Amino acid sequence: MTSLKQKIGSLMSRYSARHPARAVDVRAVFSSYKKIMDDNGRALEIMTDMGEKTGGGYLFDIVFTRDAYSDLAASVRVSLKDFNQLTAGRHPELEQAFEEIDSHINGLISGTYRSTERLSVPLGQVGPGIAREVGGKSFHLAELKNRLGLEVPDGFVLTVSAYEEFINHNGLGEIISTLEAGDDGPELLHELRERILAGSLPPALEQDLVRQLEQLSGVCGECRLAVRSSAEEEDDVFSFAGQFETVLNVPNEPGAVGQAYRRVLASLFSDEAVAYQRRLGYSPGGLRMAACVLAMVDATASGVAYSTDPLGGKEDLMLINSAWGLGKSVVEGSTAADMYKVERKPPFAVVDSAMGDKETMTCGLGGGGVLEKETPSEMRRTFSLEPKTIAEIARQVTVIEDYFHRPQDVEWAVDSSGRVIILQARPLRVRKGKASVEDRRMSASGTAPGTEEARPALAEHPVLMHDRGSVVQPGAVGGRVFLAGSPEALDEFPRGAILVAHNDSPQFVRVMPYASAIITDTGNTASHMASISREFRVPTVVGAGIATEALRPGAEITLRADEDGSMTVFQGIARELIDEQHDSFLKLEELYEFRRRKYLMKYIAPLNLVNPFTDDFSARNCRTIHDILRFIHEKSMQELIESSRHAEHGRSLKRLDIPFMDDIHVIDIGAGLSAGTGDLIVPEQVVSVPLNAILRGMSYPGAWRKGGVPISISDFLTASIRTGAMLENIDLNLAVISRLYMNLAVRFGYHYSIVDCYCSERPASNHIYFRFMGGAADISKRRRRIDMLAIILDHLGFITKVKGDMITGTISNIGQEEAVRILDQVGRLMAFTRQLDAMLVSDNVVRDYAQRFIDGDYDLFGKGDGQN
Question: Which percentage of the chain shows pLDDT scores above 90?
Answer: 35
Least reliable range by pLDDT among 158-167, 272-281, 433-442? 433-442
**Predicted confidence band of residue 256 (pLDDT cuts 50, 70, 90):** very high
**Predicted confidence band of residue 407 (pLDDT cuts 50, 70, 90):** confident
Q: What is the pLDDT of residues 587-621, one digit of tens each?
A: 444 444 555 666 677 788 888 887 888 888 899 88
Max avg pLDDT among 8-22, 158-172, 308-322, 518-532:
158-172
The answer to whether domain 154-295 has CATH 3.40.640.10 is no
Q: Which residues pair with 499 in a beta bridge?
A: 482, 518
* Mean pLDDT confidence for 282-310: 86
Q: What is the pLDDT of residues 625-662, one digit of tens each?
A: 999 999 999 899 888 888 877 766 555 678 888 887 77
Q: What is the pLDDT of residues 105-134, one digit of tens each?
A: 887 776 555 556 789 999 999 877 688 789
Confidence at residue 525, expressed as pLDDT on a 0 to 100 scale: 65
Reduced to 3 states (helix: H, G, I; strand: E, B; else coil), residue 73 is helix
* Mean pLDDT confidence for 7-28: 52
Question: Which percentage of the chain shows pLDDT scores above 70?
Answer: 77
Q: What is the pLDDT of residues 185-198, one digit of tens each?
A: 778 888 999 999 99
Confidence at residue 817, expressed as pLDDT on a 0 to 100 scale: 92
> What residue type is assigned to position 339 of the chain?
M
**Predicted confidence band of residue 158 (pLDDT cuts 50, 70, 90):** very high
Q: What is the pLDDT of residues 46-63, one digit of tens each?
A: 887 777 665 544 444 556
Per the CB < 8 A criterion, the answer to whether 170 and 192 are in contact is no
Q: Which residues pair with 770 in a beta bridge?
A: 755, 809
Whether the CA torsion 816, 819, 823, 825 is positive or negative: it is: positive
Q: What is the pLDDT of residues 549-570, one digit of tens each?
A: 999 999 999 999 987 788 999 9
Per the CB < 8 A criterion, the answer to whether 687 and 673 are in contact is yes
Confidence at residue 22, expressed as pLDDT on a 0 to 100 scale: 53
Confidence at residue 403, expressed as pLDDT on a 0 to 100 scale: 82
The Cα–Cα gap between 843 and 860 comes to 16
Question: Would you kindly state where each structural domain of the chain is located, as residue ranges?
Answer: 2-23+646-854, 154-295, 299-415, 445-579
Query: Domain 445-579 class?
Result: alpha beta
Print the SS3 string covering 502-561: CCCCHHHHHCCCCCCEEEECCCCCCCHHHHHHHHHCCCEEECCCCHHHHCCCCCEEEEEE
Confidence at residue 40, expressed as pLDDT on a 0 to 100 scale: 85
* Mean pLDDT confidence for 675-704: 89
Confidence at residue 688, expressed as pLDDT on a 0 to 100 scale: 94
Output the CA angle 179-185-187, nearest 5 degrees: 105
Max avg pLDDT among 631-645, 711-725, 728-742, 811-825:
811-825
| Average pLDDT across the chain, whole number | 80
* Mean pLDDT confidence for 726-741: 72
Residue 423: burial class (beta carbons within 10 Å; 0-12, 13-18, 19+): buried
**Predicted confidence band of residue 265 (pLDDT cuts 50, 70, 90):** very high
Half-sphere exposure of 444 (CA within 13 A, CB side): 3
Q: Is 70 exceeded by the pLDDT of residue 321?
A: yes
Tell me the CA distances in angstroms from 273 to 197, 243, 245, 283, 590, one per residue in order: 17, 5, 10, 11, 16
Confidence at residue 458, expressed as pLDDT on a 0 to 100 scale: 64
Q: What is the pLDDT of residues 202-236, one digit of tens each?
A: 999 999 999 999 999 988 887 899 999 998 876 56
Confidence at residue 584, expressed as pLDDT on a 0 to 100 scale: 39
Q: Is 70 exceeded by the pLDDT of residue 74?
A: yes
* Mean pLDDT confidence for 744-750: 78
Reduced to 3 states (helix: H, G, I; strand: E, B; else coil), residue 857 is coil
Confidence at residue 858, expressed as pLDDT on a 0 to 100 scale: 82
Q: Is 80 exceeded by the pLDDT of residue 692?
A: yes
Homologous superfamily, domain 299-415 = ATP-grasp fold, B domain (3.30.470.20)
Least reliable range by pLDDT among 74-88, 247-261, 449-463, 667-681? 449-463
The Cα–Cα gap between 495 and 314 comes to 8
Confidence at residue 505, expressed as pLDDT on a 0 to 100 scale: 75
Is-above-0.85 flag for pTM?
no
